[in-house]
Amino acid sequence: MSMVNAFRSRSLIYRAIEDNEEDKAFIHSLWLDPQSLHQNNYNILHRPLSRKTSDSQHEAKQSSRLIDLLICLPPVVEDCGNVTGAELSSQKPLPIGFINLHGLSDNTRHHRTLDIGILISAEHQGKGYGSEAVRWILNWGFQVVGLHRVGLQSGSFNTGAIRLWKRLGFREDGRDRESLWLNGSWHDEVRFSMLETEWRALVEHEKNESDKVKP
């Protein structure tokens, strides 16, 4: 991971969540969307959530997060010929979700293991942004921070997410049987993880495959 473009991937930008009205309103909008919560494996009780509660919950969780970022699309300028340099620099990336590494505490930090939290807005799901962001935060966690293990969870009903985690190289650790209640029935919570050695093997494999197609 290049330090020059450390907070960019192929089509996304990652930036800090600012303590301002714009970012707080966006985070609140994500928590109000049941489709986003369901597809991103947030199996919480869906009920009206006030802005005050949303803000306080986000603030309370900061101490357990090693990193907490907005996932953004870069600004798009359709006709650069009529746009000045100053106008180009004023364009803002478009937030489409957030991603974090959480589970940090003084008593467990020596284990060097954290979990991924990710939430993508409904209108931007199914476009590969989630998998791109997860790949980026795996690289950041293992290469920059030196983590040993990164985990995540998924409801057994979310077969698409489970296929994605396996395709990205996560391994299933186990299941908490019938621990999730959704739409009148019980479902398992499936736990996944990736170790640093497994991540390095994936990176090396991707590099070798890339080298094969070079002229």
Global pTM value? 0.88
Does 13-213 carry CATH code 3.40.630.30? yes
- Within a 10 A sphere around the Cβ of 154, how many other Cβ atoms? 24
CA distances from 111 to 105, 149, 211 (A): 10, 8, 35
Q: What is the pLDDT of residues 63-99, one digit of tens each?
A: 999 999 999 999 975 555 555 554 545 578 999 999 9
Q: Which DSSP letter does residue 11 get?
A: S
Question: Per residue in 5-23, pLDDT tens?
Answer: 789 999 999 999 999 999 9
- As a whole number of angstroms, the distance between CA 191 and CA 96 comes to 25
**Which tokens hold the place of 148?**
């040993």
Letter for the amino acid at 212? Answer: K
Q: What are the pLDDT tens digits along the chain (215 aa)?
A: 655 578 999 999 999 999 999 999 999 999 888 777 766 667 777 778 899 989 998 999 999 999 999 999 999 755 555 555 545 455 789 999 999 999 999 999 999 999 999 999 989 999 999 999 999 999 999 999 999 999 999 999 999 999 999 999 999 999 999 999 888 999 999 999 999 999 999 999 998 888 877 66
CB contact set of 107 (below 8 Å; sequence gap of 6+): none
Closest CA to 103 of 134, 67, 70, 133: 67
113-120 and 149-155 strand pairing: parallel
Q: Is 128 left (phi over 0), alpha (psi -120 to 50) or beta?
A: left
Report d(CA 137, CA 7) in Å as an integer: 9
Residues near 162 by beta carbon (within 8 Å), at least 6 away in sequence:
154, 156, 190
